[in-house]
Amino acid sequence: MTRIDDANAAAIQGVLDAAPMLVGVGRARDVIPGMADDVLLHAGPPITWDRMSGPVRGAVIGALLYERRAETEDEAVALVESGRVRFDPCHHHGAVGPMAGIVSPSMPVCIVENRTAGNRAYSTLNEGYGKVLRYGAYGQDVLDRLRWMEQTLAPALGRALELAGGIDMKTLIAQALQMGDEGHNRNRAGSALLGRWLAPHLVRAGLSTDRQSEVFRYLAANDLAVLNPVMAACKATMDAAHGIEGSTLVTAMARNGTEFGIRVSGLGDRWFTAPAETPVGLYFPGFGPADANPDVGDSTITETAGIGAFAMAAAPAIVTFVSGTARDAMTSTLEMYEITVAENPVFKIPPLDFRGTPTGIDIRKVVRTGILPRINTGIAHRRAGVGQIGAGLVRPPRMCFEEAVEAMAAALGR
């Protein structure tokens, strides 16, 4: 076996051995390493304001209003243009955020700890559907909801998790996959499990009946409630595989709405980026491809960790996103085995005779076979604040992987 194969074996062991536990909720400013008052984290590889797409700009404005650093949209824009807002990718701070992925200092974030390697990962709490910050909306209703999350939801979840002694995210994902989720676009089962497991503890969290009711209503209505903890679990898992010299394993795939970027275990903090593509999929009534923003969000950490589109065969309920037949769902997963180095024995897929999900993308396999990873994704309107307009499938640009291969050859002096 060559050194690369050894390095990949070590890296994938970190992935398969990871034990991500949802342990609590904290304030971004307090818990995320390197977070500061003037910093906004965003999804995807690094980007500057002038190159940000509509929904990401909208979310930035919303976050500055939420942080009360600006009173109006114009003030927020002026603040950014004055250079007094520092942007940094979530991924540089152990964090991940869906869609625009903006994390501001006051936002509550869930904390996932990988009990094997000891590393932690963070993600915001999911806002639910409709007009939401992650799609670039920043109206009063959006801000009101963010404050409710900060003041009611976050303390309640935090206390319940404390009483529960944490929630084993690996077990939760494993069960959800057998209940028809793939962990990225479909999270109905996982969210139900999260609510069920938290319920006995939520009632003892010291909330008034009305507040309890609000929290339960949130959990009952939001099929995406579990998505952000799942993303953090995936991030905690993949960070355990990052930084292994010589490893060609992909440890992050993320989009900032303008570019798609990947990171590779053996290539340190470098991003390999290319212009993001527009997802192909189904649109809500009244919208079409012309309205779509280029691919955006850190939620591709799910595919990076071997679920999402990689586990499509487990989720027949959403095959319409991948063209409509159960066969295509099976094909999606089978194809991903061609570019991955392992099968996760914990994440089993019933229709494939309980074969484990394809896990650990090898840049060499991607470039050699020409098969690009599949990604399930929501589609954002390209104007800020309109929100989600559809869902579908996207693939990363080939160039990201080719450049990573070139960099790896250079790094290893081959």
Partner 1 sequence: MIVRSAVRRSAYYDSITLMQAQQALRSLPGIVEAGVVMGTPANLELLREAGLDVRSASASADDLVVAVSGDTAQHVEAALSSLDGLLRVRPATDPGDQTYRPRTIATAARLLPGANLALISVPGRFAARVAREAATAGLHPMVFSDNVALEDEIRLKQTSRSRGLLCMGPDCGTAFVGGIALGFANRVRRGPIGLVAAAGTGLQEVMSTIHRLGGGVSHALGAGGRDSSEAVGGATMLDGLTLLRQDPSTTVVVLVSKPPDPGVARRLLAHAAGVGKPVVVAFVGSVPLHEVPDTLTPVSTLEEAGILAVRLAGGAPRDLDGEGGGWFQAAKERAAVARSRLGASQRYLRGLFCGGTLCAETVWLLESALRPLYTNVPMGKARPLTSLGRSLAHSVLDLGADEFTVGRLHPMLDMTLRAGRLGQEAADPEVAVLLLDVVLGEGVHPDPAGALAPAISAACTAARAAGRELAVVASVCGTDADPQNRARQVERLATAGVLVEDTNARAAALAGAIVAGGTEGDEMWTRISPRVPRAKPAAPWSQPEGATAGDAPTLLAGAPRVVNVGLARFAESLRAQSAAVIDVDWRPPAEGNRAMLELLDRLE
Residues that bind partner 1 (CB under 8 A): 2, 4, 248, 327, 330-331, 334-335, 337-338, 364, 367-371, 402, 405-406, 408-409, 412, 414
Among residues 36 and 410, whose Cβ is nearest to partner 1?
Answer: 410
3-state secondary structure of 342: strand
Among residues 51 and 368, whose Cβ is nearest to partner 1?
Answer: 368
CB of 359 to partner 1, least distance (A): 15
What is the DSSP code (8-state) at residue 149? I
Tokens for 200? 């006995």
CA distance 234 to 221: 24
CB of 133 to partner 1, least distance (A): 40
Among residues 341 and 379, whose Cβ is nearest to partner 1?
Answer: 341
Among residues 218 and 347, whose Cβ is nearest to partner 1?
Answer: 347
CB of 241 to partner 1, least distance (A): 18
CA distance 165 to 380: 36
3-state secondary structure of 246: coil
Among residues 69 and 348, whose Cβ is nearest to partner 1?
Answer: 348
By C-alpha distance, which of 211, 113, 103 is closest to 157? 211
Chain position carrying tokens 């994704």:
377
CB of 396 to partner 1, least distance (A): 15
CA angle 53, 282, 383 (to 5 degrees): 20
Write b or e for each residue in 129-146: b if 16 or more Cβ atoms lie within 10 A of its Cβ, otherwise e.
eebbbbbbbbeeebbebb
CA distance 125 to 123: 7
Among residues 171 and 331, whose Cβ is nearest to partner 1?
Answer: 331
CB of 381 to partner 1, least distance (A): 33
CB of 261 to partner 1, least distance (A): 20
List, as one string, the DSSP characters of 27-38: EHHHHSTT--TT
Tokens for 173? 């994902």
CB of 264 to partner 1, least distance (A): 12
> Residue 251 CB: number of other CB atoms within 10 A?
29
Alpha helices in 104-208 (DSSP H): 140-148, 154-164, 169-177, 188-202
Dihedral through CA 167, CA 170, CA 173, CA 178, nearest 10? Answer: -120
Among residues 13 and 331, whose Cβ is nearest to partner 1?
Answer: 331
CB of 316 to partner 1, least distance (A): 15
CB of 270 to partner 1, least distance (A): 16
Task: Show Cβ contacts of residue 317 under 8 Å, excluding neighbours closer than 6 positions.
Answer: 180, 186
CA distance 411 to 175: 40
Among residues 129 and 354, whose Cβ is nearest to partner 1?
Answer: 354
Chain position carrying tokens 């997963």:
333
Among residues 4 and 65, whose Cβ is nearest to partner 1?
Answer: 4
